[in-house]
Amino acid sequence: MSQLAPHLVMLPILVPLVAGALLLVIDEPRHALKASVSVAAMLAVLVAAGALAARAGAPVTHVYSLGAWAAPMGIVLVADRLAALMVLLTAVLALAALLFALARWHRAGPQFHALLQFLVAGLNGAFLTGDLFNLFVFFELLLAASYGLALYGGGTPRVRASLHYIVINLAASLLFLVGVSLLYGMAGTLNMADLAVRLPKLSPEDRPLLEIGAATLAVAFLVKAGMWPLGFWLPATYSSSSAPAAALFCILSKVGIYALVRVWFVVFSEGPGAELIAYGGMATLVFGMAGMLSSPDLGRIASFSLVVSSGTLLATIGIGGSNVVAPALFYLVTSTLGTAALFLLAELIDRSRIPGANLLAVTAEAFRVEDEQEQPEELVGVLIPATMAVLSLAFACATLLIAGLPPLPGFLAKFSMMAAVLDSPRVAAGAWLLLALVVLSGLVAVIALARAGVRVFWADSGRVAPRVRLIEILPVAGLITGCLVLTVFAGPAMNYLTRAGDALHPPEDYIREVLRPR
């Protein structure tokens, strides 16, 4: 066991990759086998992520040289607290989405489990890598899997939205490459720690080109984060994709923010562009709020609340800099869990509209094209009692979480974030504007979600109580319970996140650990 311990960092990438490859070769009709392999792999990832989060940063950042080539020549994986936290969040979300899909979604098309595993492998790789080009490769891995998941289930709306999603992300990937190669051309390295050491030593005439490279890279990240005006693809894609895929996509937009934060703080040590991120984030916030108010259905409201959370995070980090990282991370965790729960709930609630689940109507369209496919069967298994009551309770919790009202941790997150922002304003006028916008966004979330909730739960025309299986409500309950636990243990969680933020900036420890000869 002690011999295995140094290789722990590899597990969150290797396990899903191997499991995904294995799942590809298992025959499609063997659902039970596929499901058990997938769940086992995801549980293993969860355990590895938990161990990583417990060990990360204590006492030092864990650096793993792939192929034993030391940095900066070789590629390294770096598991500091921030990376470990994101890996853990991914594992939790993926497990929830997987359990939810076990009820029916995993039979709606081919290779659901393999796509899910590859997506998790790509996400974990992107969080753990310490190398810019490696980050690109993992981005492509997770994007390729996400294209498959966005299309999963088929149907015209999905194909139409996915086409835009794929084209925009391919273009963003090309920008990513341009940015990376400009940085390489100027600094001669792609290792983040090495870049951080070399960039300040560059001659002044090289700086403009370097800054163009950094800006190009930032655009690529911000497209993924869904910042206005780069994020118009997000609501359409997320709201048209299947519920488990959409729940997992909640972390996809956070990858962009993670990459931005990592590169901005570590490589450029809070270089130029703070105002741009701050005001861009606020514009995103406004766009998200308008979208939430104008959306008729829950899926779209959930997508726009994701835009709002992206905007809040970007604006907060742009204004507060490294001082607000800890509360921003807390907000990231709670808003991701809350939105994922809402995506899952939206599908369950939507089922009440037409008897017999209108999910079938959507997928049926695809099955006309591929008649060979198996239809998702009628619901069998343990159905939960008092479905509407359970759903409305879960919906109320998700609303509180997204709007940021007590007693759920969304409130703690927003409160601590705003306290930190007002404490250290770099964009002084922006801090108060952001405070106003964040308070307003809470109100907007309450209005939009309450309106949708009233329509579903109180206006009973044409609705029947949906049939919901235990395994479908369990992930939702789990996500919300996780948030409740976060409220109770907010102190220790905040301590952990504060240390994560301290390790992120100033990045001296990070650089020393990565470049330490071993």
Partner 1 sequence: MEIILSLGIAVLTGSGVWLLLRPRTFQVIVGLSLLSYAVNLFIFVMGWVRGGAAPFVSTRTIPDPAGFADPLPQALVLTAIVIAFATTALLLVVLLAARGLTGTDHVDGREPGQ
Smallest distance from partner 1 to CB 131, Å: 11
- Phi then psi for residue 29, to 5 deg, are -70, -15
- Phi then psi for residue 391, to 5 deg, are -65, -40
**Is residue 166 part of the contact set for partner 1 (CB under 8 A)?**
yes
Size of the site for partner 1 (CB under 8 A): 31
CA distance 76 to 69: 8
**Is residue 232 part of the contact set for partner 1 (CB under 8 A)?**
no
User: Which among 108, 185, 112, 106 is positioned nearest to 148, based on CA atoms?
Assistant: 112
Residue from 184, 232, 415, 457 touching partner 1 (CB under 8 A): that is 184
**Is residue 162 part of the contact set for partner 1 (CB under 8 A)?**
yes
**Is residue 177 part of the contact set for partner 1 (CB under 8 A)?**
yes
CA distance 501 to 329: 9
Contacts of partner 1 in 289-348 (CB under 8 A): none
For residue 222, give the amino acid letter.
L
H runs (alpha helix) in 152-263:
156-187, 192-198, 207-225, 233-240, 243-262
**Is residue 207 part of the contact set for partner 1 (CB under 8 A)?**
no
**Is residue 156 part of the contact set for partner 1 (CB under 8 A)?**
yes
**Is residue 182 part of the contact set for partner 1 (CB under 8 A)?**
yes
User: Which among 110, 109, 91 is positioned nearest to 482, based on CA atoms?
Assistant: 91
Question: Residue 62 pairs with which residues in a beta bridge?
Answer: 79
Smallest distance from partner 1 to CB 241, Å: 13
Contacts of partner 1 in 345-404 (CB under 8 A): 365, 369
Give per-residue burial for 503-514: e unless 16+ CB within 10 Å, then b: bbbebeebbebb
What number of residues does the chain have? 518
Smallest distance from partner 1 to CB 74, Å: 12
CA distance 106 to 33: 12
**Is residue 133 part of the contact set for partner 1 (CB under 8 A)?**
yes
User: Which among 169, 91, 81, 185 is positioned nearest to 132, based on CA atoms?
Assistant: 185
- Phi then psi for residue 78, to 5 deg, are -120, 120
Smallest distance from partner 1 to CB 318, Å: 28
Smallest distance from partner 1 to CB 213, Å: 9
Residue from 72, 109, 155, 318 touching partner 1 (CB under 8 A): that is 155
Q: Which part of the chain contacts partner 1 (CB under 8 A), choosing from 104-112, 137-145, 431-439, 455-463?
A: 137-145
For residue 384, give the amino acid letter.
I
Smallest distance from partner 1 to CB 222, Å: 19
**Is residue 170 part of the contact set for partner 1 (CB under 8 A)?**
yes
- Residue ranges that bind partner 1, judged by CB under 8 A: 133, 137, 140, 143-144, 147, 151, 154-156, 159-160, 162-164, 166-167, 170-171, 173-174, 177-178, 180-182, 184-185, 190, 365, 369
